[in-house]
Amino acid sequence: MSQNLAEGLLDEIVRVERLEQLYCGLDGNAGFVAAMLMRIQLNLAKAAAGRRDVVAMLHCYQELKEWKE
């Protein structure tokens, strides 16, 4: 089943929010910087979705896809 951009972006937001929690839980704050960068990108993605800015949503979708475990 294919997704539209809004659905795909929402899925990526949820996925990266889970990753952010994993990074925050690393010993010795090892993932702190990465988690903060994720938070910035998540905020941008949510704002783009709220504005229904398709170009920004597409950019945010691609940026969030880059985060790996």
Query: What are 62's two structure tokens?
Result: 């691609």
- What range does the domain containing 48 cover? 5-65
pLDDT tens for the chain, residues 1 to 69: 578 999 999 999 999 999 999 999 999 999 999 999 999 999 999 999 999 999 999 999 999 999 998
Q: How many domains does the chain have?
A: 1
Please tell me the pTM assigned to this model.
0.91
With contact defined as beta carbons under 8 Å apart, do 46 and 13 qualify? yes
The C-alpha angle with vertex 15 and arms to 10 and 21, in degrees rounded to 5, equals: 130
